[in-house]
Amino acid sequence: MKTVDIYTDGACSGNPGPGGFGAILMYKDNKKEISGFERDTTNNRMELTAAIEALELLKEPCEVNLYSDSSYLVNAFSKGWIYNWMKNGWKTESKDPVKNEDLWRRLAEKNRVHKIKFIKVKGHADNEYNNRCDFLATNEIKENA
């Protein structure tokens, strides 16, 4: 099974507001950057979208190291929140509907296909790939909003 490193970031100008995402996929010596824009969204939706869009580019099941500065994204998997949400019919512990269920469902499906390790990185720090993803995301907002 191939091992792929993916860095992701999402950004929003206002919350909600115009948003962008960026991701970098790396396999051996190959590197691919992607980014996108949504006119009316939230920061959390852009964080999830970055991961989904990157994972959807993989053509076969892979081992994935997915790096994100989003605690929302990383903790959902590393702390098992998403598994409880699925088990509880996409409801939180307090029985409220899970926000961004549509995106969480897509991520859960990708997590069944790929062996994904979600890794938290410090945002806006010294990680060149996280900083590049932040640039890609914020640049989408500048160019499209």
Q: Looking at 20, 38, 47, 53, which residue is catalytic?
A: 47
Q: Looking at 20, 53, 114, 134, which residue is catalytic?
A: 134
Is 29 a catalytic site residue?
A: no
Is 96 a catalytic site residue?
A: no
Q: Looking at 14, 80, 124, 143, which residue is catalytic?
A: 124
Task: Report the DSSP pairing between strands 115-120 and 63-68.
Answer: parallel
Is 114 a catalytic site residue?
A: no
Helices 43-55, 128-144: axis angle to 10 degrees equals 110
Q: Looking at 9, 38, 53, 140, which residue is catalytic?
A: 9
Helices 101-113, 43-55: axis angle to 10 degrees equals 30
110 Cβ contact list (under 8 Å, min separation 6): 51, 52, 55, 56, 116
18 Cβ contact list (under 8 Å, min separation 6): 12, 37, 38, 39, 40, 41, 141, 144, 145
Q: Looking at 38, 53, 69, 140, which residue is catalytic?
A: 69
d(CA 6, CA 118): 10
Instruction: Please list the active-site residues.
Output: 9-10, 47, 69, 124, 134
